[in-house]
Amino acid sequence: MASNATAILIIVLLSVLGFAAIALLTLGVRGRWRRCEPRCATCGQMVGRHEVVDAKRCPECGHDLASIGGVRFFERRLRPLLIVLGLVLFVLALAAPAAAAIVIRQSSVPRKFTQRPTSELLDLLHGPPSSDRTWMLVELAQRAQPMAAGVGANGPGARTPLTRADFERLLDLVESLKASDPLLFDPQLATLLALANDQRLLTGERMRRIADAWFPTNQVVSMRPIVRRGTTLTLAGRGHDVPGALPIECHAWIQAPAIDGAPIRPIGAPIDEASWIPLGSSTLLPVTAEPGSHRLAARLRRELHFAGHASRGNRPPSPGAAPNTGTGVLFADEATIEIPFEVIAEHAPSFLPLESPPSMRSAVRSACRVGEVAIDHTSNPAV
């Protein structure tokens, strides 16, 4: 009833604006009387006073200027301000049917789904894409709230809280999503996932599979090692967020403990083995290896969590420490990776193609990839 009253109020308001627009347009086009030079009342030709007295006829059309009303001393001029205001109000008035249709649709669609059981809504969500998916997710999010039990529980079509099996079906749906699926961009998914996380349903292998589904090859954590003539390795990385408006973030850090088994330390920043480099920054690492092919052994840690629960500058726990179990963390894993690089001599070219990087282990292999290796021997910074 409230929604229908709102629709009627909008229609009445915009109808009044429409009538006001017509009145303003009429007044603006008719214009206002203003004094002007003597003109022939028939053709508007400007005539001098001596012509009115002497010739008594219009030199253009021959009208008798001496007759009653033969000469006019006032003319109408348009009123541009009223015309502009009238046009603006007229456009608003034309939007009344469209606005009413939108309001009525918004009031009727949720009601259509509140009377359906949860299992039927889940069946529809698992079906072909539909423009009503957002409303189905809104309804499921309301039923998933902890206080949903007992709300309207005594009437026909009453809302019932989501069971564990319902949450499992929702997670099956999320797990099957692709980056091109319109459902991925619906923010209601974050609400449902947060509630599922509160019920400890996003742990173990389930969250690992969801993480892999949400981070295909086009959302990668890439690393570009650049070797500067056998002296310094620049290790840079960048993290990609989930596409669209879904408020999930990926935080990743890299730790490079050794090159060919020898420990390394960033220049000017002595660190221990527990220090991690956040992806998105560059760190200079001394390379003392001889010219030839080498491998950088590193560990990569990835965390998925809801936006706003953690800042991008946070560091992961030290290796061997307890994992981060904050309420915002959905999933965390680590993997050991090896990055091939080449230390070149003076006469070597500036760029050499290297072998393809090895496949990643654990779930990181579907979420990360190692970028190409570029070699630059033009500079030789001091170590």
Residue 380: pLDDT band with limits 50, 70, 90 = very low
Q: How much is the pLDDT for 71?
A: 72
Q: Are 237 and 223 in contact (CB under 8 A)?
A: yes
Query: Is the predicted pLDDT of residue 291 greater than 80, yes or no?
Result: no
Q: Mean per-residue pLDDT for 362-375?
A: 33
CA distance 137 to 191: 9
In 10 A of CB 76, how many CB atoms? Answer: 12
Q: What b/e readout covers 6-43, taking b as 16+ CB neighbours within 10 angstroms? A: ebeebeeebeebbebbeebbeebeeeeeeeeebbbbbe
- Percent of the chain whose predicted confidence (pLDDT) is above 70: 33
Q: How much is the pLDDT for 23?
A: 83
pLDDT tens, 229-274?
A: 445 555 554 444 444 444 556 566 667 677 777 766 555 444 444 5
CA distance 113 to 142: 12
Q: How much is the pLDDT for 137?
A: 81
Mean pLDDT for the chain? 62
CA distances from 246 to 122, 178, 332, 369 (A): 20, 13, 19, 23
Regarding predicted confidence, which is higher, 247 or 8? 8
Instruction: Provide the strand spans (E) within 307-351.
Output: 329-343
Q: How much is the pLDDT for 28?
A: 81
Q: Any idea where the domains of the chain sit in the sequence?
A: 2-106, 115-201, 222-376
DSSP readout, 76-105? Answer: EE--HHHHHHHHHHHHHHHTHHHHHHHHHH
Q: Pairing mode, if any, of strands 282-286 and 32-40?
A: unpaired
pTM of the model as a whole: 0.40
pLDDT tens, 30-70?
A: 777 777 677 776 676 666 655 555 556 776 676 766 666 66
Q: Mean per-residue pLDDT for 358-373?
A: 32
CA distances from 337 to 53, 222, 256, 314, 359 (A): 107, 12, 9, 22, 8
CA distances from 174 to 126, 315, 345 (A): 10, 28, 51
Q: How many helices (H) and strands (E) does the chain have?
A: 9, 11
Q: How much is the pLDDT for 174?
A: 72
Residue 280: pLDDT band with limits 50, 70, 90 = low
